[in-house]
Amino acid sequence: MSYHPKIQRLYLSRLLKMNFENTLSFAQQFDEKDPLKIFRDRFHIPQHNGNTAVYLCGNSLGLLPKSARGFVEQEFLDWEKFGVEGHFNAKNPWFPYHHFGRKMLAEIVGAKEEEVVAMNSLTANLHLLMVSFYQPKGARKKIMMEANAFPSDQYAIETQVKFHGGNPETDIIEISPREGEYTLRTEDVLAQIEKNKNELALILFGGVNYLSGQYFDLKSISKAGHVAGATVGFDLAHAAGNTPVQLHDWNVDFACWCSYKYLNSGAGGVGGIFVHEKHSANNDLPRFSGWWGNDEQTRFQMKKGFFPQAGAGAWQVSNAPVFALAIHRASLEIFAEAGIKNLRAKSEKLTAYLEFIINDFNQKNAEHELKIITPKNLPERGCQLSLIAKKDGKKIFEQLTSHGVIADWREPNVIRMSPVPLYNSFEDVFMVGEVLKKIF
């Protein structure tokens, strides 16, 4: 059953802009009116000293869907019953298992079904995609990325440049915020694309910067990159399931993501990729191939010569990881029921309330200010707020943890909090302010 139209109408009528209050009764009243509140009970919320924790770390590891055990248990039962014949005789046959969640995954990232597939892990997928889409030639050999990207992206890009005989010091262009600022201005990114247009082979940005929580203007970056003659790809590790994404309509060449953050598919869960349909018929693209990417009709003929299947599935190299995909399906079905647009609507309000609570604390505790470095503009952020303490940031983080607020610390000085719309409540957000009062 789909809640999309009903929930969307409720949000339009109920979750309009209003004046927030820093009171428990206000938060509870907001929760009571929340049409997505039913989904909190679909997840296991960690406990702290016998009480339910305030879990604000979905940007690092999403929570366990209660339905996941049943999904995985079904595969155990079929493995037990059928052995190898489970590839074709299981309730959910393993041979086509990677197809089962594609429609739901495509909706989350704004793609056609054949343009996405869940496979491998994030950085492995990034390398496989760069084999195809980073092809330095002559003067056009540079890669543009944001400064302070997640380390795995930095390592992957650096080693890909070295693999092609390049010099990371000169062939990687990192775009940094202006002096005294924490986030990038879109006009500065576009200006750098224009400035380096004759040397760019690839533009590869994170969708949401892991440290600042800034959601980049992917549509504008994609358009400018293509005008400059570059290939454009995105790492959506912190964007998939968090921010509105339309990869197909924005003409993005490729993207990849993990599933263990906002997609709630377990530590080290299966990754995913997007390849725009415009590349589907290009069998001459270089790639590191494996048999699961071969045409499904001839896969078991075991012949020499790789013939890629249509769509993103051609980039698969190994058998579908069925047990990891079973957990992934459990989460994707919850997303399909809730609706990504509805979740975004709640996310904006929930994160705005956290911003209000933090600012209210700062007004009353100037000597312990927690500066929000994530953009205030809603289209420029997801549900993460990144905070820098005026002093003793690590101690504040540790005190939050000891009081049952599970946030995230990133060196050198950032506390990250992410109220996830699927399972966080407005009361959770209110309790952050109450714990900060206790700490100080």
Q: In what side-by-side order are the strands of the sheet with 414-417?
A: 370-372, 385-389, 414-417, 408-410
> How many Cβ atoms are within 10 Å of 8's Cβ, its own excluded?
15
Task: Indicate the CATH number for domain 72-336.
Answer: 3.40.640.10
Quick one: pLDDT at residue 299?
83
| pTM of the full structure | 0.93
Q: 48 - beta bridge partners?
A: 51
Quick one: pLDDT at residue 18?
61
- Rg of the chain over CA atoms, in angstroms? 22
Quick one: pLDDT at residue 19?
85
- Element containing residue 112 per DSSP (H, E): none
- Element containing residue 200 per DSSP (H, E): strand 200-206
Quick one: pLDDT at residue 167?
97
Distance of CA 438 to the CA centre of its chain: 33
Report residue 165 as tokens: 């005989």
Q: Domain spanning 4-64+339-439: which superfamily? A: Aspartate Aminotransferase, domain 1 (3.90.1150.10)
Quick one: pLDDT at residue 5?
47
List, for residues 151-184, the tens digit of each pLDDT value: 999 999 999 999 999 999 999 999 999 999 999 9
Residue numbers of the chain with a pLDDT score lower than 70: 1-18
Quick one: pLDDT at residue 301?
84
Quick one: pLDDT at residue 16?
43
Quick one: pLDDT at residue 272?
98
List, for residues 368-386, the tens digit of each pLDDT value: 999 999 999 999 999 999 9
Q: Where do the H-state alpha helices sit in 228-369?
A: 322-338, 340-364
Residue-range domain boundaries for the chain: 4-64+339-439, 72-336
SS3 labels along 54-97: EECECCCCCCCECCHHHHHHHHHHHHHHHHHHHHHHCCCCCCCH
Burial profile 94-107: b = 16 or more Cβ within 10 angstroms, e = fewer = bbebbebbbebbbb
